[in-house]
A and B are shown apart, each in its own frame.
Chain A
Amino acid sequence: MSPIIDVVAPRLLAPAVMLAAALIVKGYTDVGEGFSAGVIVALAIALRYVALGRTRADRTFALARRAHLVAAGGLLVALAFGFAGVAFGRPPFTHLPLPGESVMRIGRLEITTAVGFDVGLFLLVSGGLTVLVRHLTGLMPADETEPEGDG
């Protein structure tokens, strides 16, 4: 593995998450949504696994081992935002706040049910792809030559 990738790979996750956050935050008014954001974060994680090998990547990034929980949580979040309105007698996927009502904002982020749904989608995609990446790198012959940890 080239030294450049060795150095870059572990440090790429933070910018990737920033990019993903930007895509979600501005996504509702501009290009991009949760799906692309999720794939981008998963790509950064994949690079880390390919560069460091399964064992080291697992050790330095504990959350990846719980990626299946992130994916399941994302599905639940999406379901919750989609069907929460049903409990209040509205049809599923009612857009809240309703058209014409004012929207709460945090900076440029507009808090609506659709954005919440998008966050769930992001968690599902990034978590699910990370699960696959972890298993695939477990199959990689490269990982077998990696030092199995030094402690």
Chain B
Amino acid sequence: MRPGPSAHSVDRLGPLPTVATAIAAAAFVAIVASLVAGGGAISLPWAPTLGLRIEFALDGLALLYGLLATGIGLLVFAYGAAYLPRHLAHEGRPRAEERRFWPWMTLFLVAMVGLAMARDLILMFVFFDLTAVASYFLIGFDRHRPEARGAAFMALLVTGVSAVALLLGTVLLQAEYGTFSLPELFTRARPGPVTTTAAALIAVAALAKSAQVPLHFWLPRAMAAPTPVSAYLHSAAMVAAGVLVIGRVHPLLALNPVVLDALLLVGFVSIAVGGVLALAQDELKQILAHSTISQYGYVVVLYGIGGPDGAVAAALYVIAHAIAKSALFMTAGAVSEATGESRLSRLGGLGRELPVLAVASGIVAASLAALPLTLGFFKDELFFAAASGKGPLVASFAVVAAALTFAYLARFWLGVFSGPRHAEASRVPWLLVAPIAVLAILSIAGGILVAPFERLAESAAAVTHGSAIDVAPGYHLDLRIENVMAVAAWGLGAVLLVGARWREPAVSAISRAGDRIGPRRVYSVLLSALNRMSDAAHRAEVRDLRTSLAAILVPTGILVALGFAATPTEGAYVAGPITSADLPIVALLAVAILAALTAARDRGRLRPVLALSVLGFSLAGVYAVMGAPDVALVAVVIETVVSLVFVAVYSRLPGTTVGRPARAAAASHRFRNAAAGIIAGVSAFAVIWAALSRPSLGGSDAAEQIRRTPDAHGGDVVTVILADFRGLDTMVEITVLAVAIMGVASLLRRFDRA
């Protein structure tokens, strides 16, 4: 029996969370300090021949996301220090498994800060993918649970595959404008089809990362992660990385209004889908996950609206959302920890037992629902202002969006903390509540004194928009359009909340329809089809030795044939004269042909092997006669080794003769074998003939290498090429060789009795 974890053991803080939290705190302090010092930039050459630089700068946008990643990171890490030991104890896993958690959390933080500060597109791609890698291991932390593994794989696949679009866009831009550096791109880029394509590709990667429809489905599954991961991933890390990229490359997106309109559309669809599905969920973390889809939809809409208003509203929205969403996830975790329940239908009335948690999470929920006296009020004020400037249609969508947000947040908070009590709550450790309280205080402070947050958002928006912006959010007791829209949204939201009788069938019908025909279904159908295809190819390849060989030789032959079809063959197939000096070569080649025929026709076992060895040695002789002694030497030693290994392996084969069924199978495969042999043989013949027809040195690297060999203090060109001119190639090749030897040795060791 495993002894139950004592309260003492889960309350003791381990060294790893302490170190991780200290790193987050140090990074936060460093960013604040460099803010006071007036920013900073690093620019180092990375790969000068490719024009790559390690280019970091702490501008407004970097500051915003850096402060979020480290500040919220600090609070979430502190929360996680208390949460993770309890989580592991519930799952019956040892404390030592924290080792598999904190390094990835720290990488998550570092990657996010790096992404925020990167000014080079390749560098951005690297950090973008690093967040995906870290999230894979964090979402799959409970690796014994299949749904956690599936969720981790789905998140990696959806965000990782679409990240390739970011790389494609980057390469397109480099090919067009000759630079990876963003500040240079902004000055050089002009509207055009290439720029539009590249911008759209980058936007696709960013939208998938920010879980926008139709690539949103990975995010709700990702709540299989432990709560601190969800709190961080949804607020300041993974998902925020997408809108960070949009905010960073926005000047490129803005070159074509169609791209911005597409953002607007995707954003509104995401708000609607996320909001409606959030109303349909019962599990706390599922409600919050769908809310995240909807909330980042707002940010995408604002970037789609563009201009100074959109940019600053988006920046403020990201701040307010990150503060509120991390606190709400931590609330969900604390409630589940206290009661053991994670479903809305089994919770309720916890306000009396957990008053601090209730008040703190009420404040952050109010902030996200944009009630007055919270930071969130101003995010919606700017949102409404930007939307109303875009016409009545966008404005009315904006009101519906805010109403949905109000409704699902009220349903969440009221469902947990008010009404009749369904579940008993135990005491919650202070470290699970304190971070939420800090975030609540921040929300209230922002509601009273918005200036610091406003300045942060303005400096970030100045980067996005390209010029300085000044907005003045504030409370106005009059009938301006923002106030009217806000009141309309609350009213509509209250109607949605109260009208549970007709709301619930509607949202659950939509939710079911989404499960049946939604993109997640497409994903699973595609994935299983891919899996079946791969299995079928694998089975065909490994069925017997001949199919394994054919799997290499036939595709090679076909590719070579295609290459020949596309290459001019004039002068390529020359049959030169045969002089008396060539007689040794002819004789050696005749031996080689006889040996090859023997190897193919002989039914014995050892004779074909020996014939192959004769073939190899006679070819080595040809090299020696043709004046390539280096090649001949290598051919001889390799041929010796291969022959010995062949004989050694054959001595291990069972001694039975080939039986009747095997012969029948061989006969039925005769046509297949002949076809494979002809395809591979003819293409190899064509390649060698073409190569031997033009052995000229003129204008090639070879002439230059021969000329420079004395400079390298060498006399033998081949050796100098291998060890010096192409030294890096050789280095890579011998590294591959070492890895292959390691692989073979580890296979052999399993059967080696010593």
Q: Is B634 an interface residue (CB 8 A)?
A: yes
Instruction: Establish whether residues A33 and B719, one from each chain, have CB atoms under 8 Å apart when the complex forms.
Output: yes
Closest to A92 in B: B728
Instruction: Establish whether residues A29 and B748, one from each chain, have CB atoms under 8 Å apart when the complex forms.
Output: no
Which residues does chain B contribute within 8 Å of A72, judged by CB atoms? 738
CA distance A33 to B641 in the complex (A): 17
Q: A31-B716, A82-B728, A114-B723 are in contact. Are A139 and B637 (CB under 8 A)?
A: no
For B715, B723, B735, the residue with the greatest tally of chain A CB atoms inside 10 Å of its CB is B723
Instruction: Establish whether residues B723 and A118, one from each chain, have CB atoms under 8 Å apart when the complex forms.
Output: yes
Which residues does chain B contribute within 8 Å of A131, judged by CB atoms? 741, 745
Q: Is B638 an interface residue (CB 8 A)?
A: yes
Instruction: Establish whether residues B629 and A31, one from each chain, have CB atoms under 8 Å apart when the complex forms.
Output: yes
Instruction: Establish whether residues A99 and B711, one from each chain, have CB atoms under 8 Å apart when the complex forms.
Output: yes
Q: Is A40 an interface residue (CB 8 A)?
A: yes
Q: Is B640 an interface residue (CB 8 A)?
A: yes
Instruction: Establish whether residues B641 and A125, one from each chain, have CB atoms under 8 Å apart when the complex forms.
Output: no
**Residues of B699-738 whose CB lies within 8 A of A:** 708, 711-716, 718-720, 722-724, 727-728, 730-731, 734-735, 737-738
Instruction: Establish whether residues B737 and A124, one from each chain, have CB atoms under 8 Å apart when the complex forms.
Output: yes
Which of B54-62, B106-114, B644-652 forms contacts with chain A?
B644-652
Q: How far is the CB of A116 from chain B (nearest CB, A)?
A: 9
Instruction: Establish whether residues A136 and B648, one from each chain, have CB atoms under 8 Å apart when the complex forms.
Output: yes
Instruction: Establish whether residues B716 and A112, one from each chain, have CB atoms under 8 Å apart when the complex forms.
Output: no
Which residues does chain A contribute within 8 Å of B738, judged by CB atoms? 71-72, 75, 124, 128
CA distance A27 to B634 in the complex (A): 13
Instruction: Establish whether residues B734 and A124, one from each chain, have CB atoms under 8 Å apart when the complex forms.
Output: yes
Q: Is A13 an interface residue (CB 8 A)?
A: no
Q: How far is the CB of B730 from chain A (nearest CB, A)?
A: 7
Q: Is A43 an interface residue (CB 8 A)?
A: yes
Over the window 96-110 of chain A, the binary record of Cβ atoms lying under 8 Å from chain B Cβ atoms (1 yes, 0 no) is 010110010000001
CA distance A137 to B749 in the complex (A): 11
CA distance A28 to B720 in the complex (A): 7
Q: A97-B713, A99-B712, A141-B652 are in contact. Are A32 and B737 (CB under 8 A)?
A: no
Q: Which of the residues B641, B645, B727, B735 comes within 8 Å of A39, measured between beta carbons?
A: B641
Instruction: Establish whether residues A135 and B716, one from each chain, have CB atoms under 8 Å apart when the complex forms.
Output: no
Instruction: Establish whether residues A33 and B630, one from each chain, have CB atoms under 8 Å apart when the complex forms.
Output: yes
Q: Is B502 an interface residue (CB 8 A)?
A: no
**Interface size class, chain A:** 35 or more
Instruction: Establish whether residues A138 and B748, one from each chain, have CB atoms under 8 Å apart when the complex forms.
Output: yes
Instruction: Establish whether residues A121 and B637, one from each chain, have CB atoms under 8 Å apart when the complex forms.
Output: no
Instruction: Establish whether residues A32 and B630, one from each chain, have CB atoms under 8 Å apart when the complex forms.
Output: yes
Q: A103-B713, A114-B724 are in contact. Are A132 and B744 (CB under 8 A)?
A: yes
Which residues does chain B contribute within 8 Å of A132, judged by CB atoms? 741, 744-745, 748
Instruction: Establish whether residues A121 and B752, one from each chain, have CB atoms under 8 Å apart when the complex forms.
Output: no
Q: Is B506 an interface residue (CB 8 A)?
A: no
Q: A75-B735, A124-B737 are in contact. Are A43 and B720 (CB under 8 A)?
A: no
Q: How far is the CB of B65 from chain A (nearest CB, A)?
A: 34
Instruction: Establish whether residues A138 and B752, one from each chain, have CB atoms under 8 Å apart when the complex forms.
Output: yes
Which residues does chain B contribute within 8 Å of A71, judged by CB atoms? 738, 741
Which residues does chain B contribute within 8 Å of A34, judged by CB atoms? 723
Which residues does chain A contribute within 8 Å of B476, judged by CB atoms? none
Instruction: Establish whether residues B737 and A128, one from each chain, have CB atoms under 8 Å apart when the complex forms.
Output: yes
Q: Which of the residues B641, B652, B708, B720 comes within 8 Å of A139, measured between beta carbons?
A: B652
Instruction: Establish whether residues B637 and A43, one from each chain, have CB atoms under 8 Å apart when the complex forms.
Output: yes
Q: Which of the residues A82, A97, A138, A142 comes within 8 Å of B754, measured between beta carbons?
A: A138
Question: Chain B at the A interface: mostly helix, strand, loop or mixed?
Answer: helix
Which residues does chain A contribute within 8 Å of B723, judged by CB atoms? 28, 33-34, 114-115, 117-118, 121
Q: Is B671 an interface residue (CB 8 A)?
A: no
Q: How far is the CB of B474 from chain A (nearest CB, A)?
A: 57
Q: How far is the CB of A75 from chain B (nearest CB, A)?
A: 5
CA distance A135 to B750 in the complex (A): 10
Instruction: Establish whether residues B731 and A29, one from each chain, have CB atoms under 8 Å apart when the complex forms.
Output: no
Q: Is A78 an interface residue (CB 8 A)?
A: yes
Q: Is B751 an interface residue (CB 8 A)?
A: yes
Instruction: Establish whether residues A54 and B633, one from each chain, have CB atoms under 8 Å apart when the complex forms.
Output: no
Q: A32-B633, A71-B741, A131-B741 are in contact. Are A112 and B713 (CB under 8 A)?
A: yes
Which residues does chain B contribute within 8 Å of A54, judged by CB atoms? 754
Q: How far is the CB of A66 from chain B (nearest CB, A)?
A: 14
CA distance A100 to B710 in the complex (A): 9
Instruction: Establish whether residues B753 and A30, one from each chain, have CB atoms under 8 Å apart when the complex forms.
Output: no
CA distance A36 to B712 in the complex (A): 21
Q: A132-B745, A140-B648 are in contact. Are A95 and B724 (CB under 8 A)?
A: yes
Q: Which of the residues B641, B708, B716 comes within 8 Å of A129, measured between beta carbons?
A: B641
CA distance A43 to B741 in the complex (A): 16
Which residues does chain B contribute within 8 Å of A99, judged by CB atoms? 708, 711-713
For B734, B749, B751, B752, the residue with the greatest tally of chain A CB atoms inside 10 Å of its CB is B734
CA distance A22 to B333 in the complex (A): 71
Q: Is A56 an interface residue (CB 8 A)?
A: no
Instruction: Establish whether residues B648 and A78, one from each chain, have CB atoms under 8 Å apart when the complex forms.
Output: no
Which residues does chain B contribute within 8 Å of A141, judged by CB atoms? 651-652
Which residues does chain B contribute within 8 Å of A129, judged by CB atoms? 641, 741
Which residues does chain B contribute within 8 Å of A92, judged by CB atoms? 727-728
CA distance A121 to B738 in the complex (A): 10
CA distance A48 to B640 in the complex (A): 15
Q: Which of the residues A29, A31, A68, A95 comes within 8 Å of B633, measured between beta carbons?
A: A31
Instruction: Establish whether residues A36 and B720, one from each chain, have CB atoms under 8 Å apart when the complex forms.
Output: no
For B640, B651, B718, B745, the residue with the greatest tally of chain A CB atoms inside 10 Å of its CB is B745
Instruction: Establish whether residues A28 and B719, one from each chain, have CB atoms under 8 Å apart when the complex forms.
Output: yes
Q: How far is the CB of B457 from chain A (nearest CB, A)?
A: 44
CA distance A121 to B734 in the complex (A): 7
Closest to A112 in B: B713
Instruction: Establish whether residues A43 and B752, one from each chain, have CB atoms under 8 Å apart when the complex forms.
Output: no
CA distance A100 to B713 in the complex (A): 8
Q: How far is the CB of B723 from chain A (nearest CB, A)?
A: 4
Which residues does chain B contribute within 8 Å of A118, judged by CB atoms? 719, 723
Q: A79-B731, A135-B748, A138-B748 are in contact. Are A31 and B630 (CB under 8 A)?
A: yes
Over the window 120-151 of chain A, the binary record of Cβ atoms lying under 8 Å from chain B Cβ atoms (1 yes, 0 no) is 01001100110110011011111000000000
Instruction: Establish whether residues A32 and B731, one from each chain, have CB atoms under 8 Å apart when the complex forms.
Output: no
9 shortest interchain CB distances as A-B pairs: A29-B715, A99-B711, A135-B748, A138-B752, A93-B727, A128-B741, A39-B637, A114-B723, A31-B629
A-B contact pairs, 12 of them (CB 8 A): A29-B714, A31-B633, A32-B633, A33-B718, A92-B727, A93-B724, A121-B730, A124-B738, A128-B737, A132-B745, A135-B745, A142-B651
Residues of B at under 8 Å CB distance from A?
Answer: 629-630, 633-634, 637-638, 640-641, 644-645, 648, 651-652, 708, 711-716, 718-720, 722-724, 727-728, 730-731, 734-735, 737-738, 741, 744-745, 748-749, 751-754
Beyond A50-B648, A117-B724, 20 extra complex contacts between A and B, CB < 8 Å: A30-B715, A31-B716, A32-B633, A33-B719, A33-B723, A36-B633, A43-B640, A92-B728, A95-B712, A112-B713, A114-B712, A114-B727, A115-B723, A124-B737, A132-B748, A135-B749, A139-B652, A139-B748, A139-B751, A142-B651
